[in-house]
Structure 1
Amino acid sequence: MTSAGTESGARAARIARETSESSIELSLDLDGTGTSDISTSVPFFDHMLTAFAKHSLTDLTVRATGDIHIDVHHTVEDTGIVLGTAIKQALGDKTGIARFGDATVPLDEALARAVVDISGRPFLVHDGEPDGFQFHLIGGHFTGSMVRHFFEAVTFAAALTVHVDVLRGRDAHHIAEAEFKAFARAFRFAKAYDAAVVGVPSTKGAL
């Protein structure tokens, strides 16, 4: 994995990662407006990353190719790793951030809740998807199990504590999209600057 670093004074990062299974170039700006330019060769995943950018107010560009003729798993997981790594790099020392964020987001009959702690301690709790969701094929390429794989990759690479719960839902597309949007909104609030915070929001003095 190679990194182009962060821009001076900006919470931004550019990272490239290439393996025998995937090739990914990603750039982001945590203080953007939610604009995105996404191409992963997995259409539904493009849709989810676009939603993440929009609702987290993160400018995001992704160019990813991989062995999707075998499975989309490597492309989705590796993109999550690169996204998480870029988030961690762009956050810097985390001075002045709110640190915690939560959101509950509906999509028609589906309802998902996410809680994010920019803790420096990677941990994911992911629960509530209905039985069989992990086997459902969404958009002809993306299986429901990829949702958890993506959150695992981002959480551990970015060193976040994340709880995602599906409270209800029937349609697999709606469930997955509600999860991504809830995560995006919770992350938006967690990464935001809080004028009342002095230094790093931790009794340890570091996150």
Structure 2
Amino acid sequence: MTRVGRVERTTKETSVVVEIGLDGRGEVSVSTGVGFFDHMLDQLGRHGLFDLSVKTEGDLHIDTHHTIEDTSLALGAAFRQALGDKTGITRFGTCAVPLDEALAQVTVDLSGRPYLVHSEPDGMAPMIGAYDTTMTRHIFESFVAQAQVALHVHVPYGRNAHHIVECQFKALARALRQAAEPDPRAAGILPSTKGAL
């Protein structure tokens, strides 16, 4: 079974094409025009072992918001598409990732219900290059809305903004990878007592 999702999203603000393969080798090609965001998407693909292709052209002459938001929406939709009917998946995933002084704890449920809980240390630097650090939460909000997953992200401590954001994406990658993995003991079984995810 090949689990691949592909989404094209075009508005007056952006043009986005995302393709994700859940059973890949972490081969990543991303281009959004926002360097730090590209770096985070690279973390997601490589540490999740997802083959990920992202091509976004956005209204960067205004700011980075629409580009980042629409890419995240398309990524969530492609991830959901790639999951298919979710039969035989592990469903839940959790991972804690340190990056020097920062620590991210991420837990995900591929539940079919979008929900986000997100916390970061106060007083983070507002910008990492052209990347507005308040967008991290919005990336997850947008992803969750389209992927229809419950996502809890907690960074209890950290000083460096780059480290604080990057460890979140690495932990998310590992948690998603774990949750999306086929469970050999649950082949043909939908992991839900409701009979739907």
**TM-score when normalising by structure 1:** 0.92
Q: Unaligned stretches of 5+ in structure 2?
A: none
Residue aligning to 1:39: 31
Following superposition of structure 1 onto structure 2, how do residues 24-35 of structure 1 map, counting pairs within 5 Å? 24-35=16-27
Q: Aligned ranges for residues 30-69 of structure 1 at < 5 Å?
A: 30-69=22-61
Q: Cα deviation per residue 1:72-115 (whole Å; 9 max; x = unaligned)?
A: 11111100100000011110100000000000001100100000
CA distance in 1, matches of 2:113, 2:8: 24
Q: Quick one: which of 59, 77, 86 aligns to 1:94?
A: 86
1:196 to partner: Cα distance: 1.1
- Taking the aligned partners of 1:14 and 1:124, their CA distance within structure 2 comes to 24
- Does 2:99 correspond to 1:110? no
CA distance in 2, matches of 1:196, 1:156: 30
Q: Select 1:188's aligned residue among 154, 163, 177.
A: 177
Mapped pair 1:203 → 2:193: yes
Residues 1:70 and 2:62 are matched in the alignment: yes
- Give 1:10 shift: 1.4
2:6–2:81 CA contact under 8 A, matched in 1: no
Cα distance in 2 for partners of 1:37, 1:166 equals: 28
Map 1:97-176 to 2 at 5 A. 97-127=89-119, 129-133=120-124, 136-138=126-128, 140-176=129-165
Partner of 1:102, secondary structure, is strand
List structure 1 segments (4+ residues) > 3 angstroms apart after TM superposition.
none
- The reply to whether residue 19 of structure 1 matches residue 11 of structure 2 is yes
Identity %: 54
Count of equivalent residues: 196
Measure the CA separation in 2 of the matches of 1:118 and 1:14.
19
Q: How far apart in 2 are the matches of 1:75 and 1:191?
A: 27
Q: 1:132 Cα deviation (Å)?
A: 3.2
**Separation in structure 2 between the aligned mates of residue 176 and residue 69 of structure 1, nearest angstrom:** 24
Contact kept? 2:69, 2:138, Cα under 8 Å = yes
The one-letter amino acid paired with 1:173 is H
